[in-house]
Amino acid sequence: MTKNELTIDLRQMILAIETAVSFVGMNDVNHGKRVGYIASQLGHHLGFSDEDIQFAFELGLLHDCGVSTEQMHSNLVNHFDWEDAHIHCEIGYNLLKNFAPLAAYAKPILYHHTPWQQLVETNVTRRDGRMANLIFLSDRVDVLASSHYKNDILVARDEIARSINTYGGSYFDLTLVDAFNAMEKSEAFWIALEDRHVTRYVWNMGQIKSNTPLTLEQLRQLSLIMAYIVDQKSPFTAEHSLLVASLASYIAKSYGLSSAQCEKIEVAGLLHDLGKLHTPDHILGKPAPLTTIERSIMNQHSYETYEILRHINGLGEIAEWAAYHHEGINGGGYPFHPSATKLSTEARIIAVADIFQAVVQDRPYRDGMTLNEAIKIIEEMARCGKLDEEVVALVKQHAVACFRIASGEDQDERLSYRGMFPEGMGNKSLD
């Protein structure tokens, strides 16, 4: 295998999406894992084929890919039937429907909060409808149980079962409810949902290869989906990942790197802020400089990015480039403090692209900077050893082009989320 070839398993990317999206839950980061576990166990009980059990498990991992904010997550877990639950279903559907490797999950995600009585009246296929309702049931079981894990789950399970049964036939297919009733009588089912057990189950499932290796172009498309989820975390970071990736790719081309390396840099740029999904919304959107404590919380995000990506076999250097975007040539920055010799050209390019794009973008506490102001910022950071001088000089040489890309003005050089959503839907609010 040459340096520019990739062999990345789709299953491991699905696990990465679940890890990133579950971070939005802040203090509960295993919701998707538990829904995947519950759905797969129901599939076993119902006699699903091995293929359908695997599908149900992965659907559980992916079902909340349309959730980016704490507020939406809170509404989904605090209300059994929240009136705006359809928003994240529609977003998840539109994110996946045109990405061939995951397109089969789109329709079940679209309907995974649709009550069974309404679902049977739609034109959804029997299989998609059943999978959607399977996830709805699994999701609501976990929501009802979540406050009881590590505490009194074996006492609370009877009340959880009674609650689910009140919705049998209306919200949930009675066949699924009957299967749940039989399955929940086992203490092992409930104990397995504890964090330490369900994470091990998902880890073991992740070792089963999906036999669907992603091409570099497919990895790029999937990274675009993941970047959208991150960028919707805050209106002030909308398109940040997208524009950093576009600018980093442009700088890499100007630097003379190969087309394959430029594509991989673009992927790293799209993924570099995944860890921000675990940063509290009030910190990301604070209309003033952060306190010392808030800054220390914010500074954890690049490590979280690394933790999400490093488990994906074959992603290696891309994960490192993405995670090193706040590291300094002089050993400053955070969170790893690698030596200058360990900071690759690709990582240095992404670091410059990230800073340059951030300063020209409007933020809660300041307006975006002008071209001259932005150049002065990165020049000073290069002088003090934070950024690579050669990369900064290259940005200065192509200053107008870089500014147009970073600010989103250049429609030819920049990536776009257009085409993901129907006309008029756009960046639908996640609040």
pLDDT (tens digit, 9 = 90+) per residue, 163-181? Answer: 999 999 999 999 999 999 9
Question: Which CATH number does the domain housing residue 42 bear?
Answer: 1.10.3210.10
283 and 141 inside one domain: no
239 and 361 inside one domain: yes
In a domain, 418, yes or no: no
Q: Which two tokens stand for residue 196?
A: 């330490």
Average pLDDT on 254-282 reads: 94
192 and 109 inside one domain: yes
183 and 79 inside one domain: yes
pLDDT tens column, 277-315? 999 988 988 888 899 999 999 999 999 999 999 988 888
- Crossing angle between the packed helical segments 31-45 and 195-206, to the nearest 10 degrees: 70
In a domain, 421, yes or no: no
Give yes or no for residue 429 having a pLDDT over 50. no
Average pLDDT on 264-287 reads: 93
133 and 48 inside one domain: yes
36 and 161 inside one domain: yes
In a domain, 18, yes or no: yes
In a domain, 412, yes or no: no
pTM for this entry: 0.91
In a domain, 106, yes or no: yes
14 and 139 inside one domain: yes
Predicted local distance difference test score (pLDDT) of residue 222: 94
Give yes or no for residue 148 having a pLDDT over 60. yes
Nearest Cα neighbor of 232 from 413, 71, 2 is 71
180 and 237 inside one domain: no
223 and 289 inside one domain: yes
**Catalytic residue list contains 276:** yes
Predicted local distance difference test score (pLDDT) of residue 427: 47
pLDDT tens column, 38-57? 999 999 999 999 999 999 99
- Crossing angle between the packed helical segments 153-166 and 174-183, to the nearest 10 degrees: 160
Q: List the domain range (segments joined by +) for residue 275.
A: 216-406
373 and 286 inside one domain: yes
Give yes or no for residue 16 having a pLDDT over 80. yes
197 and 260 inside one domain: no
Nearest Cα neighbor of 198 from 56, 38, 51, 65 is 38
In a domain, 423, yes or no: no
Query: First vs last Cα of the chain: how many Å apart?
Result: 45
139 and 229 inside one domain: no
| CA dist., res. 76 & res. 314, Å (int) | 35
Catalytic residue among 33, 276, 286, 386: 276
**What is the count of structural domains for the chain?**
2
In a domain, 427, yes or no: no
Q: Are 114 and 121 in contact (CB under 8 A)?
A: no
